[in-house]
A and B are shown apart, each in its own frame.
Chain A
Amino acid sequence: MKRAFTNARLVCPTRGIVTGTLITEGDRIVSVGQTGLPSDTDVVECKGLTLAPAIVDLGVFAIDLPAFHAGGIARVGLMPDQSPVLDDPGIVQRAALIGKPTLWIHPIAAATKGLAGTDLAEMAINRQAGAKAVATGRGWIADSGVMRKVLGYARDLGLTVISHAEDGGLTGRTVATAGEAATRMGLASAPSLAEPLAIARDLMLAEETGARLHVRQVTTAAGFDLIRAAKRRGVAVTCGITPAHLLLSDIAMTDFRSFAHLSPPLRGEDDRQAALAAIADGTIDVLASGHDPRGPEEKRLPFADAAPGAADAEHLLALALTLVRDERLTIDRLFALLSANPAKVLGVEGGTLSEGAPADLVAFDAGAPWQIATEAMTAKTGNTPFDGLPVQGKVHRLFKGGTEVFST
Chain B
Amino acid sequence: MPASDHSPAAQIPGGAVFPHGSLTGIAGLQPHEIVFLLDEAEQWVDWNRRHAKSQHPLDGLTQINAFFENSTRTLLSFEIAGKRLGADVVNMHAAQSSVKKGETLIDTAMTLNAMRADVIVIRHASSGAVQLIADKVDCPVLNAGDGAHEHPTQALLDALTIRRRRGGVAGQRVVICGDLLHSRVARSNILALTALAAEVRVCAPTTLMPPAIERMGVTPFTDFDAAIEACDVVMMLRLQNERMAGAYIPSTREYHLRYGLTLERLARARPDALVMHPGPMNRGVEIASNVADHPDHSAITEQVEMGVAVRMACLDVLTRRARGVEGWA
Contacts and interface: CB of A to CB of B under 8 A. Distances in A.
B216 A184 contact: yes
Interface stretch (B33-41, B146-154, B274-282): B146-154
A304 B211 contact: no
A301 B105 contact: yes
B104 A300 contact: yes
Interface string B122-133: 001011110110
A186 to B, nearest CB: 3
A305 interface: yes
Contacts of B149: 185-187
B107 to A, nearest CB: 10
B211 A302 contact: no
A46 to B, nearest CB: 46
Interface string B197-226: 000000000000011110110000000000
A189 B212 CA distance: 11
Contacts of A297: 104
A14 interface: no
Nearest to A175: B127
B173 interface: no
Given A185-B149, A187-B148, A303 B127 contact: yes
A30 B226 CA distance: 77
Nearest to A190: B211
A188 B149 CA distance: 10
A186 B211 contact: no
Interface string A170-187: 000000001110111111
B132 to A, nearest CB: 6
Contacts of A191: 211
B84 interface: no
B131 A184 contact: no
Given A184-B187, A297-B104, A302 B216 contact: no
A183 B132 contact: no
Given A301-B105, A302-B124, A180 B187 contact: no
Interface string A150-179: 000000000000000000000000000011
Interface residues of A, number: 21
Contact of B147 (A178, A180, A186, A300): A186
Nearest to A183: B210
Contact of A304 (B105, B126, B150): B126
B215 A183 contact: yes
Interface in A272-327: 297, 300-305
A297 B104 CA distance: 8
A386 to B, nearest CB: 20
Contact of A302 (B147, B187, B210, B212): B147
The interface centre, meaning the residue of B105, B147, B215 with most chain A CB atoms within 10 A of its CB, is B147
Interface residues of B, number: 24
Nearest to B150: A186
A301 B124 CA distance: 12
B104 A187 contact: no
B131 A185 contact: no
B184 interface: yes
Contact of A180 (B127, B129, B131, B212): B212
B212 to A, nearest CB: 4
Contacts of A183: 187, 210-213, 215-216
B251 to A, nearest CB: 22
A179 B216 CA distance: 11
Contact of B215 (A180, A187, A302, A305): A180
Interface string B113-142: 000000000001011110110000000000
A301 B147 CA distance: 13
Contact of B128 (A178, A180, A185): A185
A300 B103 CA distance: 12
Contacts of B147: 186-187, 302, 304
A255 interface: yes
Given A182-B211, A183-B212, A302 B128 contact: yes
B126 A302 contact: yes
Interface in B257-276: none
B187 A179 contact: no
Interface of B: 27, 104-106, 124, 126-129, 131-132, 146-150, 184, 187, 210-213, 215-216
13 contacts: A179-B212, A184-B27, A184-B187, A187-B148, A188-B148, A191-B211, A256-B132, A297-B104, A301-B104, A301-B132, A302-B124, A302-B127, A302-B147
Given A184-B187, A187-B149, 6 more contacts: A186-B127, A186-B187, A188-B148, A256-B128, A301-B104, A302-B132
